[in-house]
Structure 1
Amino acid sequence: MERVALLRTSGRRLLHRCRGGRPAVVPAAAASSLARRPLPSSFPARGYSSLPRHGRYWPAATPRLARRLSAPAVSTSPSPVPYDTDDVHEYAAKLGFEKVSEQIIDECKSTAVLYKHKKTGAEVMSVSNDDENKVFGIVFRTPPKNSTGIPHILEHSVLCGSRKYPLKEPFVELLKGSLHTFLNAFTYPDRTCYPVASTNTKDFYNLVDVYLDAVFFPKCVEDFQTFQQEGVVFNEMKGVYSQPDNIMGRVSQQALSPENTYGVDSGGDPNEIPKLTFEEFKEFHSKYYHPSNARIWFYGDDDPKERLRVLSEYLDQFEASTAPNESKIWPQRLFKEPVRVIEKFPAGEEGDLRKKYMVCINWLLSEEPLDVETELTLGFLDHLLLGTPASPLRRILLESGLGDAIVGGGVEDELLQPQFSIGLKGVSEDNIQKVEELVMQTLKNLAEEGFASDAVEASMNTIEFALRENNTGSFPRGLSLMLRSIAKWIYDMDPFEPLKYEQPLQQLKARIAQEGSKAVFSPLIEKFILKNTHRVTVEMQPDPEKASRDEAAEKEILKQVKASMTQEDLAELAHATKELKEKQETPDPPEALKAVPSLSLQDIPKKPIHIPIEVGEINGVKVLQHDLFTNDVVYSEVVFDMGSIKKEHLQLLPLFCQSLLEMGTKDMDFVQLNQLIGRKTGGISVYPFTSSVRGKEDPLTRIIVRGKAMAPRVEDLFNLMYTILQDVQFTEQQRFKQFVSQSKARMENRLRGSGHGIAAARMDAKLNAAGWIGEQLGGVSYLLYLRDLETKIDQDWDSISSSLEEMRKSLFSKNGCLINLTSDWKNLEKSNQHIAKFLDSLPSSPSLGSDPWLSRLPSVNEAIVVPTQVNYVGKAGNLYQSGYQLNGSAYVISKHISNTWLWDRVRVSGGAYGGFCDFDTHSGVFSYLSYRDPNLLKTLDVYDETAKFLRELEMDDDALAKAIIGTIGDVDAYQLPDAKGYSSLLRYLLGITDEERQQRREEILSTSLKDFKEFADAVESIKDNGVVVAVASPDDVEAANKEKSVFPEVKKCL
């Protein structure tokens, strides 16, 4: 889940691991992740994903991922585990499993066996290798017939207790006491997935057992109260239906496929969700949550026999069913003529409504499944069209000035029929037709003229690099592999095919070499787009009254329902509500809690994970080197002190960083520069990083230039870094204007979809200097700055351009520079000569002085008003200022508060999609936040009662051990080599030593109930002295101020 904008990181994560120094993204296949850490993809995000997916827990960003092209494994590629296959197959046969197929998957160095359970027909893919990050997943085909949200509500409900684990929510107990590297569930338009991952074998099988019991024998189909309490889904979807980009994606998908299951919303329409009956709910589970309708996945270094043994205990309890026939997805027939759809979306009153339109053109590409070579070629075409700032379709649309930002996910291929979507947001009403014409004409021109050879080479290298690098970030590689396989397997196609890219990749390269790229790509543009009559144009019209109308309509329905009820009905409802509330607030009995399997403290390593580091110097500059196996990829960070820039230039920093990568030099325009980066490297990024430093008033502020390349290309990497830093010219006024418009559109989208991040940034800005800087660069203040800057570009471009040049001169010199490298020792040594050359080329003049940055926003409560049906409520205070001295137990306690008190009161009882707290141990700021919350004052009351909760808390040794183990799971989160090197860099910059990490770990492991009681005194200070920021609807803010005058400051931002 996204946290505070602009690279702020919480104390727990920076002390023990790094979640990265820039906003990262989640693979589109996994719309939500319980763990609040970003999951980087192989390719940059753009616009919305047109495939709505809904998870059990609050989502991070959901961009498109090049699923067919991104790698299924990671830098430290696994190897097949040697075992006696005949012995395993013989064992499988005894358990009732028939081997269907066995293949060696060289691309991920695995042995994969597809089994079928004879009795039920359940299909099982068992993938074996030496990857310690084991993955299990069970997937059911769950096509809905209406938009009541049955699949989504069921996904939430099955994890609320089961036959073997009769707790209210065994899932939460796993959260508290597991070492999981992934734990979640999510709903697609046509299937529901339940994946888990862990590096600890015992823990892994604990997770597997809880999940299998949950999906096959849930309490929710017998317990009406569990069904009743899933208002969480209702409020989640109210949030989804408040966001224009999400509305665009939903309307596009439903208009493209009106005749099959994709014509309804599996997540649920808030207007339809209340119509769902308990009988329909139970019937849906009985029909689809059956082994005959399941696809089951195992991956990693665990024993393949144990996988089948565990499965057989559950599968053998069932007989075969007709579910596979009833759940079959039928294709949408292709239209003979294009279709146009007009939809309204909730818009704020700020700005010119006539310039807030959105338009997206969508195609359903085929009625029949595509062969693997065509899919791969379409993936390349998609990257050529839209994958980089230099891609022609993306570039021409943005340079047209017809809109502010791209919408549309390009090629989407995770459902039965692939689709292509592209358009613009921030469009004037008069320009809607012009956008459509420009899209069609640009595609026509590209089909006729083809792509530049440099563009094709750059795209080929970018995609091939991603495949060779095999880096899925913190997203488990086995889960990435599973989701790709499922995209075919769920439709009864070959599950092995998506795992193997090498042969079709080589065939595609050979075709391009022999026939030329035009002969390869132009026919695809013609067939699938230009001559394709299955086209839907979606026009989105801003409506400032829509949010209020929707809210009023909901209240009117409730009023009418109440009016139709007798006194006896009302008394029965009040009694049922009271019973439900009592159930929600009553702790599970100790014997039920003990039923959930967990590790013991003896299973936990006593020492933190060690990352090798050598600190040296080259040409007087500090160089950090991390000797780790990376498959010959070299990862590099060049770090500059940004404290030398003037305060008046601070808010230009994000645009300055973008300009470095997306403007040209004297010798190359930005298209040529981007293509050169694509041909020679695995990518370069530039971004600001800021954090508080514990014990210091001054924040850490840096610019980080991050890049990667294969070892033979390291010289090219550093040469290109130099070009970006020193040769780029800040002369392209119209491109800079585009950057401002795009940034403004992104910020406005964040206000609606990630209001918790906006609130957190705003609170931090009131409490510490690093928070103030972060908010200036990525919060409400930045949005206001962008709006003002947009009006000044045409009048004062010379001044802006000269400011950018002045920033370059003050930032990029050897003074204060630091270099971080991660690779194996052989490649590190070879890189030193290229580092020396790079450093010699940098100016060595002293950096210019700057004004002090120790600013803060006024410490007053404020509401940020946006057109939404749900709220994001925050409250925060600085614990260090109240006298608290940091102890490792704080990590345990804050996690426990999130997983118990806030989960139960804000989510379960309050109906919010998420409620959590975060302790930034660098600044001392302790924050409460809610996500898609129907409440405002009630949530603030819960925050204020946290100290009382801690003082009255009773925990036995088992509960305390679980809390400690779960915290260690966060501390020891699985990392790939590049992330390890980056984490080590941040620790070095922040002065975090291995000795301190060991001390905090010992304090975590020795946490006692007494520590919880003492922490209550610290959080008590927030009740009276904390600051409140809410991103909320106008009606809720007005009601809150009438009742308590909570918000002296009210800002309209949309």
Structure 2
Amino acid sequence: AHILEHSVLCGSRKYPVKEPFVELMKGSLNTFLNAMTYPDKTCYPVASTNLKDFYNLVDVYLDAVFYPNLTEYTFLQEGWHYEVDPQTKEFSYKGVVFNEMKGAYSDPEDMHDDLCRRSLYPDTSYGLDSGGDPLEIPTLSYQEFLDFHKKYYHPSNSFIFFYGDDDPERRLALMEEWLAPFGLASIDSLPQAQMRFDEPRYIEYMYQAGEQDQPKAYAAVNWALRGHGNVLHAMQASILFHILTGTSASPLRKALIESGLGEDLAGFGYSEELLQTAFSVGLKGVEPTNVREVEKLIFSTLEALAREGIEKDAIEASLNTIEFALREKNTGRYPRGLAVMLEALNEWLYNQDPIEALAFAGPLEKTKKAYADNPRLFSELIDELLVGNTHRTTVVLLPSPDANKAREEAEKAMLDKARMAFSDAELAQIMRATDELRRLQDTPDSPEALATIPVLSLEDIPKEAPVLPSELLLLTETPQEGGTVAQGKQSAMDARRSETASSAFYHELATGGIVYLDLGFSFAKLESRLLPYVSLLGRLLLEMGTDKESYVQLIQRIGINTGGIRSTSVSASRWDSREPSPWFFLRAKALPEKAESLADILIDILTGARFDNPERLRQIVLEEKAQAEAMLVPAATRMVSLRLRSRFNPADWASERLYGIEHLFFLRSLAQKIESDWPSVLADIEDVRRAILVRDNLIVNVTTDRATLNSCIPALRRIVKALSPERAHVTSGTRSARNSWIHEAISACDPASVSKPAAETLELPAQVNSVGMILPLWNSKAPAGAWLVVTKFLDTTYLWEQVRVIGGAYGGYSNLDLASGLLLLLSYRDPNIERTLDVYRNVAAFLKTCSVPPEEIQKSIIGTIGDIDAYQLPDAKGFNALMNTLTGYTQEARQQIRDSILAASPDDFRHLGALIEEALGTSMTGVLGAPDRIEQALHALPAPLERLSMY
């Protein structure tokens, strides 16, 4: 199923090009274009805010799904094939999905979650890995692959979903054309239900851990729950599991974290995506000898909650949090329609009513009433669903320095067996097939084939850069006459200004009656040694309690009265200088009638947060450390990217210390320092508080409708007034801007004064690599927007073909930051190191010599506009408008970049190629991967080289 997900998008009846998916990526305004494989379904969603573009995408995807070409060479490329070394005749496996899943098997957290889920359904296909075990993928034959498509990819087995304001009659007429040629088929496509266990099961597996690691295990208890069809039961279950583990104050989560048995939660949580719903919870970072203690603690906690009841405020907080989330439907960057589709499928796929699955108000009100009538409702559900449920497993993932070795030896044995079975003639045929695959990969699509892909024209593209509504907001004691509290339109926002105390901005947008409030605090004048604390500050403010209440009471109060408060720290590059624009934000949302309650909470947090509980701080630091370590493999490319950028750009120098590898090292050190030198840790945190959380540093940002804004002004004024107006009693290190981290960052990133390594390796247990190269394009003081068109073309041609299609990596792409003038070349889940670096070194030659037809430039222009006109919900629009101001990214600059994009020409390709060629002399390479793979590639890495162990 996973290989088919990739392969159907590699050419079809109407669109006989090698990669229609990539052609759409080049020249579409899409807001979503991808496909996803689940244990019992594959989804092919597309989305666009441009109606013509949307129906282009729909047409290509329908033809791909129902009429794919599915050549044997597509199967070899996307699934698996043998590669034979011409000299040694040594065999190896290659293939995009094969290497993607090797990456998945390098991530112990993802592996543990998958094993927990599969453990509950061992006698069904849910007990197998729907992504594909790399040791099983090479057993799939081409004929089995074709048979699978023939059986399951039939309209009778499809669920077709539209969302948007387009004409529904047009939708139906379109689908009639597509479905009419097919007859009705009876397809038994769902897995059978798993027979319930008579008694619980305990299962152990191994994962690869470095020999230098402290041996830490993952342990989770997992329950199979109910089937589908009762939306009231589903609503009650979702609320119950939020009560138990949804926040740091949740009783089961609190008991696990405070036990000291582990560092952070493990398990996949509540899942409604399969035929039988499930719940999973446990701990990671557990001493192997304590895994049974985790199981005991979970049950003793659940039994006590079932017997003694759950605190009323915990229930009220979860009820309000769930209701707010359901009504707001904030899906972030993810198009809302896709989230709705997946929710509908949670019932629809299992022959239940999809509309009933979406209609949450009725079940929510019934749940509230049931709880009012029976305060023990959720305690009784604990007993029914968990304590008394024998269909459960305990899955433990134990560390081993030899787990990868065992898999590699098994893979080698498979290859040796295959090699021995082949005659010389068969071996020659395999080599010819590999050569033919390479020839096909290197052969460009014909102009006639490319012309079949529907594309927009430049006339379909808005020429004006989108304007985000923004106004200066006056938070004085007395509003202007007539009640005006906001003034000054976009030009006022974009003017370069000195950031003064209590600056405030307003963005008038329809938010469904919700107030989105961002409180930003500059940390530009903080000492370098204190910088890593900033990304912890939000959790310390929100999860350690105040002078008035414990952290549990505070979290419950937030849940009862708001839609949530979260924090983020941003170090962004200014567009008019090389200096960073660093801000710590508390981002809150609430209904207008709760504005005063929200203000009270924020005031208590900002003026009365208590940091003097070493054990609670230690718990937070261990959770953050465990999460940072868990992200090393799945976010490997982001880690390599940030690490490289931090060597060249002051803003990224700070981000690396806030979120990157340096921050992980800081957290490891801080966890020990809390125990060995608590007074100095507390003093540091208090210094951070005094240096940042003052009125001088504050900026207020509000996004809502006008009437709601006016009703909230008194609450906003109270917040500003409550803050200390100046930096009083600040220790000597934080008083002067001369000691600011910014000066150290600028010095560290100055190419004239600092020698950098030419390459750095980050070494950890992994079966595949992430390879990066950064190129500073500083010789052009004003990077052109047209260069984004060039990198779009680069991503969808040369890098896609060389790194993914031929190289077998899951991904290869570039990232150009116009503000800093830095170009990154990156790969993801990559079996190669040397070959990928050779590809990067040849980028300049490719751009200088490639002949790009006008229609290909036009596609890349359209795709680039689609990237910069990203899908945004109102809260994101308001926040991004603020960041534009704080970084000096004016409307004029945005329009200049857009104009340059729309005017891109072949000269821009040659110009950027020449700049990249020049920048190779000051480039830097970064690799994250296993030590043995890196050792083999040392000859390909430039000197001087730094090697860093992540164990």
Structure 1 length normalisation: TM-score? 0.83
**Residue type at the aligned position of 1:868:** A
Between stretches 787-796 and 923-932, larger displacement belongs to: 787-796
Change (3 A) 1:441 1:498: same
State the identity as a percent: 43
SS in 1 for 2:181: coil
Greater than 6 Å deviation, 4+ residue runs: none
**Residue type at the aligned position of 2:568:** Y
2:843 paired with 1:946:
yes
Change (3 A) 1:695 1:946: same
Question: Where does residue 92 of structure 1 map in the other structure?
Answer: none
Mapped partners of 1:155, 1:1047: distance in 2: 43
Shift of 1:655: 2.2
2:772 paired with 1:874:
yes
Mapped partners of 2:543, 2:199: distance in 1: 39
Change (3 A) 1:184 1:169: same
Q: How does 1:448-847 map to 2 (within 5 A)?
A: 448-516=307-375, 518=376, 520-619=377-476, 621-846=502-727
2:878 paired with 1:984:
no
Question: Where does residue 409 of structure 1 map in the other structure?
Answer: 268
**Which of residues 187, 200, 224 in structure 2 aligns to 1:364?**
224
Between stretches 893-902 and 985-994, larger displacement belongs to: 893-902
**Which of residues 56, 69, 87 in structure 2 aligns to 1:219?**
69
**Which of residues 9, 14, 18 in structure 2 aligns to 1:168?**
18
Residues 29 and 866 in structure 2, CA contact (< 8 A), matched pair in contact too: yes
Mapped partners of 1:968, 1:295: distance in 2: 31
Shift of 1:1026: 0.8
**Which of residues 303, 312, 324 in structure 2 aligns to 1:444?**
303
Shift of 1:750: 1.2
Mapped partners of 1:846, 1:375: distance in 2: 51
Mapped partners of 2:207, 2:506: distance in 1: 51
**Residue type at the aligned position of 1:245:** E
Any idea what the Cα deviations from partners look like across 1:104-141, whole Å, max 9, x if unmatched? xxxxxxxxxxxxxxxxxxxxxxxxxxxxxxxxxxxxxx
Mapped partners of 2:780, 2:232: distance in 1: 64
RMSD, matched Cα:
1.6
**Which of residues 204, 208, 220 in structure 2 aligns to 1:342?**
204
Mapped partners of 1:359, 1:907: distance in 2: 35
Mapped partners of 1:865, 1:328: distance in 2: 42
SS in 2 for 1:340: strand
Mapped partners of 2:618, 2:889: distance in 1: 41
Residues 235 and 911 in structure 1, CA contact (< 8 A), matched pair in contact too: yes
SS in 1 for 2:212: coil
Shift of 1:631: 1.4
Q: How does 1:91-240 map to 2 (within 5 A)?
A: 151-220=1-70, 222-230=71-79, 231-240=95-104
**Residue type at the aligned position of 1:862:** E
Mapped partners of 2:455, 2:168: distance in 1: 22
Mapped partners of 1:1022, 1:276: distance in 2: 45
Shift of 1:468: 2.3
Any idea what the Cα deviations from partners look like across 1:392-430, whole Å, max 9, x if unmatched? 111110010000110012221111101110110111122
Question: Where does residue 86 of structure 2 map in the other structure?
Answer: none
**Residue type at the aligned position of 1:446:** L
Shift of 1:914: 0.8
Shift of 1:560: 4.1
Mapped partners of 1:983, 1:711: distance in 2: 22
Any idea what the Cα deviations from partners look like across 1:712-737, whole Å, max 9, x if unmatched? 11122222112111101111111111
SS in 2 for 1:595: coil
Change (3 A) 1:554 1:1043: farther
Mapped partners of 2:791, 2:237: distance in 1: 47
SS in 2 for 1:1051: strand
Question: Where does residue 142 of structure 2 map in the other structure?
Answer: 278
Residues 332 and 872 in structure 2, CA contact (< 8 A), matched pair in contact too: yes
Gap regions ≥5 residues in structure 1: 1-150
Any idea what the Cα deviations from partners look like across 1:448-497, whole Å, max 9, x if unmatched? 12211111111111111112223222211211111111111111121221
Residues 329 and 491 in structure 1, CA contact (< 8 A), matched pair in contact too: no
Mapped partners of 2:113, 2:146: distance in 1: 29
Residues 75 and 142 in structure 2, CA contact (< 8 A), matched pair in contact too: no
Residues 767 and 877 in structure 1, CA contact (< 8 A), matched pair in contact too: no
Shift of 1:666: 2.0
Any idea what the Cα deviations from partners look like across 1:842-881, whole Å, max 9, x if unmatched? 111147325232333862111111111010111102112x
**Which of residues 946, 949, 969 in structure 1 aligns to 2:866?**
969
SS in 2 for 1:363: strand
Any idea what the Cα deviations from partners look like across 1:591-617, whole Å, max 9, x if unmatched? 111100011000111111121111133
Question: Where does residue 481 of structure 2 map in the other structure?
Answer: none
**Which of residues 736, 741, 749 in structure 2 aligns to 1:849?**
736
Mapped partners of 1:185, 1:306: distance in 2: 24
Residues 789 and 857 in structure 2, CA contact (< 8 A), matched pair in contact too: no
Shift of 1:212: 0.5
Between stretches 905-914 and 644-653, larger displacement belongs to: 644-653
SS in 2 for 1:301: coil
Residues 574 and 889 in structure 2, CA contact (< 8 A), matched pair in contact too: no
Residues 1041 and 1047 in structure 1, CA contact (< 8 A), matched pair in contact too: no
**Which of residues 113, 118, 134 in structure 2 aligns to 1:249?**
113
Mapped partners of 2:448, 2:255: distance in 1: 64
Residues 621 and 667 in structure 2, CA contact (< 8 A), matched pair in contact too: yes
SS in 1 for 2:160: strand
Residues 947 and 1017 in structure 1, CA contact (< 8 A), matched pair in contact too: yes
Residues 640 and 817 in structure 1, CA contact (< 8 A), matched pair in contact too: yes
SS in 1 for 2:131: coil
Question: Where does residue 863 of structure 1 map in the other structure?
Answer: 761
Shift of 1:695: 4.1
Question: Where does residue 487 of structure 2 map in the other structure?
Answer: none
Question: Where does residue 490 of structure 2 map in the other structure?
Answer: none
Between stretches 990-999 and 980-989, larger displacement belongs to: 990-999
2:176 paired with 1:312:
yes
Question: Where does residue 264 of structure 1 map in the other structure?
Answer: 128
Any idea what the Cα deviations from partners look like across 1:155-175, whole Å, max 9, x if unmatched? 000000000000001111111
Mapped partners of 1:190, 1:930: distance in 2: 29
How many residues matched? 895
**Residue type at the aligned position of 1:969:** G
Mapped partners of 2:567, 2:940: distance in 1: 47
Shift of 1:1042: 4.4
Residues 317 and 559 in structure 2, CA contact (< 8 A), matched pair in contact too: yes
SS in 2 for 1:752: coil
**Which of residues 290, 296, 300 in structure 1 aligns to 2:164?**
300
Shift of 1:228: 4.0
Mapped partners of 1:900, 1:1046: distance in 2: 30
Mapped partners of 1:605, 1:287: distance in 2: 44
2:190 paired with 1:328:
yes
Shift of 1:369: 3.1
SS in 2 for 1:539: strand
Mapped partners of 2:939, 2:23: distance in 1: 40
Residues 202 and 599 in structure 1, CA contact (< 8 A), matched pair in contact too: yes
Gap regions ≥5 residues in structure 2: 80-94, 477-500, 729-734, 750-754
Mapped partners of 2:502, 2:663: distance in 1: 33
Shift of 1:1017: 1.3
**Residue type at the aligned position of 2:533:** L
Mapped partners of 1:787, 1:977: distance in 2: 38
